[in-house]
Amino acid sequence: MKHPYVTFWMEHGPKIVCELYPEEAPNTVNSFLYLARLGCFDGHAMERLAPDFVADMSYTAFGREEARYLIAYETQSAGFPNHLRAAPGTIVMGGYENGIAGGEFFFPLKENAKLDYSYPAFGRVVEGMDEVLRWNTLPVVEVPFPLDPSIRITAPAERIAVKKAEVETFGVEYPLPVRLEGAKLPVNWGMPGG
């Protein structure tokens, strides 16, 4: 069976293509594909850029009601046999301290032991890695985080946005993600998205 692919057509700059690995993080891939098909990533601007750490596409569930749900973490730290390191060259699902994720994803920009096997990596960048690495060189601006002024968030000074995310599953049907019922949603998900 061929792996699914996602192509991020960017508003400016080259496309970024990722090969996804459902055998490593099946429900994470299902969640990502579900949100991509709904168009949750289309037109969305990167909300957080932490140089030498991560390019985080969202911490507000993309400002979309349909993206406000949680799934279990598919990581070694959560007892799941995911063998992918969350290292540069991978696409990784973000998450929260209670070991749960949703659909917010990021690209690691530098090796960091804190990320390895603690955040669910679920695919690899197969085209456009030079563009991802370019983001690490961009100037950033501080963004106020109204829920906790002590939290410092930086965003790219220039707009980096996905024009459209296209999914290719090669005829394979991927199920809806299995959601955690009754899990408390992060308060920052009530904030407007980029």
Going by C-alpha positions, the residue among 19, 42, 31 that lies closest to residue 68 is: 31
Query: Is pTM beyond 0.85 here?
Result: yes
3-class secondary-structure state, position 135? helix
Q: How far is CA 163 from CA 10, 11, 16, in A?
A: 5, 5, 11
pLDDT digits (tens), the chain, 194 positions: 799 999 999 999 999 999 999 999 999 999 999 999 999 999 999 999 999 999 999 999 999 999 999 999 999 989 999 999 999 999 999 988 777 888 999 999 999 999 999 999 999 999 999 999 999 999 999 998 766 777 788 999 999 999 999 999 999 999 999 999 888 888 888 776 54
Q: Residue 15: what pLDDT?
A: 98
* CATH (domain of 71): 2.40.100.10
Enclosing domain of residue 87: 5-190
> CA Rg, the chain, in Å?
15
State the Cα–Cα distance between residues 38 and 85, nearest whole angstrom. 28
Number of domain units in the chain: 1
Q: Residue 109: what pLDDT?
A: 98
Bridge partners of 6, per DSSP, are 18, 167
Element (DSSP H or E) covering residue 102 = none
Q: Residue 145: what pLDDT?
A: 76
* Cβ atoms of 123 and 29 closer than 8 Å: yes
Q: Which residues contact 97 (CB under 8 A, 6 or more apart)?
A: none
